[in-house]
Chains A and B, each alone.
Chain A
Amino acid sequence: MPSAKAIALSASGVSKQFGSVVALDGVTLAIPASACVALVGESGSGKTTLLRCFNRLVEPDAGVVCVGDEDVRAVDAVQLRRAIGYVPQDGGLLPHWTVQRNVELVLRLNDVPDIAARAQHSLELVGLDPATFGNRWPRELSGGQRQRVAIARALAAEPGVLLLDEPFGALDAITRSDLQDAFAAIRERLRVTSVLVTHDLHEAARLATHIAVLRRGKIEQCGTAAVLVAEPATEYVRALLRRARLTELETAM
């Protein structure tokens, strides 16, 4: 697979309210091309809402979200989503389609040539043998295999951006670790700009180039794991790191 043309992302002054609940409160964040930013925070901190602004699953009440140089509001939402990879927590595989057909989804939507071959290639990328797994139904797979297929599906059309919403959250520890390794390897090869929502600081430190800590719809601090550990910007960040027992050793990896 040729390396994807990585794209920078940005949010500036983005706010979003659901009824009376403030999900995002003037968030500003710049993500350089090929970076992997982890959005961490407690439930309700706004991390998933922010993620979903980038492919217009959420439309902000205020502020500007850009993918590349373009304000996302200027791009047709459906076209935008077809250009951005997306991995939900539960995989979201279509149960009535085979693994192969699932991975072909975005390729077919984009109507590109060599759909079958590209889908097979994408399966190989996530460590699944197309001959063995291509004709299986999603329900015949383990949880880890399903997430691998979801990642293969998100990457098959070689998007410039990959959004992952707690992709490994529902897996057991060993499988999670395997998938994290696999993802890190894929990132190493593709350099696709990635946004990863997680509540696991260790996962963030392991996979992301930058970590953004969200709290009540605001970014408390954004920086590399090393910077966060060395100079926590707020008491909240300090407490969060202490609770997670994130060590300097880990951040150096």
Chain B
Amino acid sequence: MRTLIAVLVAAQVAAAQTTPRPVVVASKPFGESFLLAEMFAQLLEARGLTVDRRPGLGATEIAFQALRTNAIDVYPEYTGTGLLAILGEPPLPTAAAVYDRVSREFAAKFGVHWLPPLGFENTYAIAVRRATADSLHLATLSDIARAGPRLRAGLTPDFIGRADGLPGLQHAYNLRFRDVRALGPAVKYQALAAGQVDVIDGYSTDGLIARYDLVVLTDDRHFFPPYEAAAIVSPRLFAESPRAVAALGELSGRLNEREMRMLNMRVEVDGTPVGIVARDALTSLGLLGERVTATNVSRDSSRSIVAYFAEQRATIVRLTGRHLALVGASLLFAIMIALPLGLVLERVARPAEGVIRAVGVLQTLPGIALLAFMIPLLGIGVVPAIVALVLYSLYPIVRNTFTGVRDADTAAVSAAHALGMTDAQILREVRLPLAAPVIMAGIRTAAVINVGTATLAAFIGAGGLGEPIVAGLALSDTRMILSGAIPAALLAIVVDASLGLVERWVRPGHLR
């Protein structure tokens, strides 16, 4: 395993040395992050730099690990997340204090640089209908504490439970609602608009706040920690490309919450492609040279999913090919490792159970955690994805090889031994052929698991059918999700069926 990793790392280092690297722009897997990253990318391109887009990286941990190790160069992050989630420090009262703290600490600890904030916060927001705000004269959270006993709240279960959610809020503002109902994120805006509840929680730049013309109440006692958006930049880019850093700096202080809500609404509610919304935003900020007329290509939801698939045909085929390559390569490596390992373990017998169990533990590691762990070692992209998939494939193959060979017709094996076959001949001509169906069953299990797990590869920028699934989830686009999920499901069936044919071919004669 170590040598395999060494070879892969060497290959990646060699690849890195031969070509001058473009600026790698990444995002986390939600709509606003996609949009900001696309704005970064277009701005860099407009300033003459080459860009490699890696949107939708797993989560904070993966994106940050990738940035810290120069696997990516820039992505949009929030100061509050940097302080609480990455540094693990308690919240600070003002936005300026948080920014000062994270920019100083990140530079010192990681060599990572926060560019000046973009100009808006995306923090927790408590919102009401405009009519409610007008009739009850609500502008701040202190106001709502006064009107609370008359209001029904619809809050996400997460917010109701967290110390920095409802309990803390009630304490800080001495707030009581008439009724608190748990509502999922998907339905709370509709419930508020329909008058079924009067107050909801959300994020301050949610496009739906603009869509329903809601009023976000000011956090006048600064209960919520500040979450200012900013570009954060890798050590490499900061040191080597002042031009890129300067280009990204042009966006600092240029966006506000209201504008961000409008932009997010176009992406998440109207379904306008991120590239178009980003271009329009940069144009209206005067950051793109040429004048481009704003187009609003909205999602035509009347069109059938079949038509959508037909339109996306080329992309789906390309992603399916990549997916298959990830699965095929990882399965091949896994067989090369697990098959000999299973055979060796069957020979040495004593430590076998322990080793196989240890391999089984790999299976239980959460995919995202494993990927995050590997980024400092292998960066992002295809290599860590394949290594992760290999690790996930080992167990069923090792287990089945071990059991299959151990339990292969023992009477036949001892007769073969007694008649003068060598151990190698017995393995090759008796045990392996007799164990073949069991080993193949392990390989099939690994392959089918792999097709599913490979969708996680999108979280570390390795492509495949996970890409539309991640993007579709971020942009609430069901058809995009299905354009990844359906081919992945079909692929699992096809892969299993093809390996079934291989199994028939390796099955020993008397069982055919």
Footprint of B on A, CB under 8 Å?
55, 57, 78-83, 86, 88, 90-98, 105-106, 109, 137-139, 150, 153-154
B510 to chain A: closest residue by CB = A137
B414 to chain A: closest residue by CB = A92
- Chain A proximity mask over B347-369: 1 for CB below 8 Å, otherwise 0: 00000000000000000000000
Report if A78-B508 is in contact (Cβ < 8 Å); known contacts: A92-B412, A96-B433: no
25 contacting pairs across A/B (C-beta < 8 A): A78-B420, A78-B421, A81-B417, A82-B419, A82-B420, A83-B420, A88-B414, A88-B415, A88-B418, A91-B411, A92-B411, A92-B412, A92-B415, A92-B418, A93-B415, A95-B508, A96-B430, A96-B434, A105-B416, A105-B419, A106-B420, A109-B419, A109-B421, A138-B510, A154-B419
B415 to chain A: closest residue by CB = A92
Contact A81 B411 (CB under 8 A): no
Chain A positions within 8 Å of B509 at CB level: 96-98, 137
Q: What CA separation (Å) do A138 and B409 show in the bound complex? A: 13
Contact A93 B412 (CB under 8 A): yes
Contact B419 A95 (CB under 8 A): no
Report if A94-B418 is in contact (Cβ < 8 Å); known contacts: A137-B509, A137-B510, A138-B510: no
Interchain nearest-CB distance for B512 vs A (Å): 10
Of A83, A94, A154, most buried by chain B (CB within 10 Å of CB) is: A94
Contact A96 B419 (CB under 8 A): no
Determine if B422 is an interface residue (Cβ-Cβ < 8 Å). Answer: yes
Number of B residues contacting the other chain (C-beta, 8 Å)?
20
Contact A139 B510 (CB under 8 A): yes
- Chain A proximity mask over B486-512: 1 for CB below 8 Å, otherwise 0: 000000000000000000000011110
Report if A94-B416 is in contact (Cβ < 8 Å); known contacts: A78-B422, A138-B510: yes
Q: What CA separation (Å) do A96 and B434 show in the bound complex? A: 7
B508 to chain A: closest residue by CB = A96
Contact B412 A86 (CB under 8 A): no
Q: What CA separation (Å) do A139 and B411 show in the bound complex? A: 14
Report if A86-B418 is in contact (Cβ < 8 Å); known contacts: A96-B509, A98-B509, A137-B510: yes
Q: What CA separation (Å) do A94 and B418 show in the bound complex? A: 13
A92 to chain B: closest residue by CB = B415
Q: What CA separation (Å) do A97 and B412 show in the bound complex? A: 11
Q: What CA separation (Å) do A57 and B416 show in the bound complex? A: 12
Chain A positions within 8 Å of B430 at CB level: 94, 96
Chain A positions within 8 Å of B425 at CB level: 109
Q: What CA separation (Å) do A138 and B509 show in the bound complex? A: 11
Cross-interface CB contact of A95 among B412, B418, B421, cutoff 8 Å = B412
Q: What CA separation (Å) do A80 and B430 show in the bound complex? A: 20
Of B414, B415, B420, B510, most buried by chain A (CB within 10 Å of CB) is: B420
A77 to chain B: closest residue by CB = B420
Q: What CA separation (Å) do A64 and B414 show in the bound complex? A: 24
Q: What CA separation (Å) do A1 and B318 show in the bound complex? A: 67
Q: What CA separation (Å) do A80 and B415 show in the bound complex? A: 14
Cross-interface CB contact of B411 among A55, A78, A88, A96, cutoff 8 Å = A88
A96 to chain B: closest residue by CB = B508
Interface residues of B in 401-434 (CB under 8 A from A): 409, 411-412, 414-422, 425, 430, 433-434
Q: What CA separation (Å) do A160 and B323 show in the bound complex? A: 62
Q: What CA separation (Å) do A97 and B511 show in the bound complex? A: 11
Chain A positions within 8 Å of B420 at CB level: 78-83, 106, 109
Interchain nearest-CB distance for A7 vs B (Å): 16
Cross-interface CB contact of B415 among A79, A86, A139, cutoff 8 Å = A86
Q: What CA separation (Å) do A79 and B421 show in the bound complex? A: 9
Cross-interface CB contact of B412 among A78, A81, A94, A106, cutoff 8 Å = A94
A88 to chain B: closest residue by CB = B415
Chain B positions within 8 Å of A154 at CB level: 419
Chain B positions within 8 Å of A94 at CB level: 409, 412, 415-416, 430
Q: What CA separation (Å) do A150 and B414 show in the bound complex? A: 13
Q: What CA separation (Å) do A137 and B422 show in the bound complex? A: 23
- Additional A-B contacts beyond A92-B411, A96-B430, A150-B415 (10; CB < 8 A): A78-B420, A81-B418, A81-B419, A82-B419, A92-B418, A96-B510, A97-B509, A137-B509, A138-B510, A154-B419
Interchain nearest-CB distance for B501 vs A (Å): 19
Q: What CA separation (Å) do A91 and B419 show in the bound complex? A: 12
Q: What CA separation (Å) do A57 and B419 show in the bound complex? A: 10
Q: What CA separation (Å) do A57 and B415 show in the bound complex? A: 11
Q: What CA separation (Å) do A137 and B508 show in the bound complex? A: 11
Chain A positions within 8 Å of B508 at CB level: 95-96
Interchain nearest-CB distance for B483 vs A (Å): 45
Of A83, A106, A109, A153, most buried by chain B (CB within 10 Å of CB) is: A109
Contact A86 B434 (CB under 8 A): no
Chain A positions within 8 Å of B416 at CB level: 92, 94, 105
Chain B positions within 8 Å of A80 at CB level: 420
Interchain nearest-CB distance for A160 vs B (Å): 14
Contact A95 B510 (CB under 8 A): yes
Chain B positions within 8 Å of A86 at CB level: 415, 418-419
A140 to chain B: closest residue by CB = B510
Chain B positions within 8 Å of A57 at CB level: 417-418
Interface residues of B in 373-423 (CB under 8 A from A): 409, 411-412, 414-422
Chain B positions within 8 Å of A91 at CB level: 411, 415
Q: What CA separation (Å) do A105 and B422 show in the bound complex? A: 12
Cross-interface CB contact of A90 among B411, B433, B434, cutoff 8 Å = B411
Q: What CA separation (Å) do A84 and B473 show in the bound complex? A: 71
Q: What CA separation (Å) do A88 and B418 show in the bound complex? A: 9
Interchain nearest-CB distance for B510 vs A (Å): 4
B509 to chain A: closest residue by CB = A96
Q: What CA separation (Å) do A86 and B276 show in the bound complex? A: 81
Contact B433 A153 (CB under 8 A): no
Q: What CA separation (Å) do A204 and B414 show in the bound complex? A: 25
Interface residues of B in 213-243 (CB under 8 A from A): none
User: Which 5 A-B residue pairs are closest in the complex by CB-CB distance?
Assistant: A92-B415, A96-B508, A82-B420, A81-B420, A137-B510
Chain A positions within 8 Å of B434 at CB level: 95-96
Chain B positions within 8 Å of A81 at CB level: 417-420
Of A81, A88, A95, most buried by chain B (CB within 10 Å of CB) is: A95
Interchain nearest-CB distance for A85 vs B (Å): 8
Chain B positions within 8 Å of A150 at CB level: 415
Chain A positions within 8 Å of B411 at CB level: 88, 90-92
Chain B positions within 8 Å of A78 at CB level: 420-422
Q: What CA separation (Å) do A81 and B421 show in the bound complex? A: 8
Report if A106-B419 is in contact (Cβ < 8 Å); known contacts: A90-B411, A95-B434: yes
Q: What CA separation (Å) do A28 and B422 show in the bound complex? A: 30
Chain B positions within 8 Å of A109 at CB level: 419-421, 425
A83 to chain B: closest residue by CB = B420
Report if A153-B412 is in contact (Cβ < 8 Å); known contacts: A96-B509, A98-B509: no
Chain A positions within 8 Å of B419 at CB level: 81-82, 86, 105-106, 109, 153-154
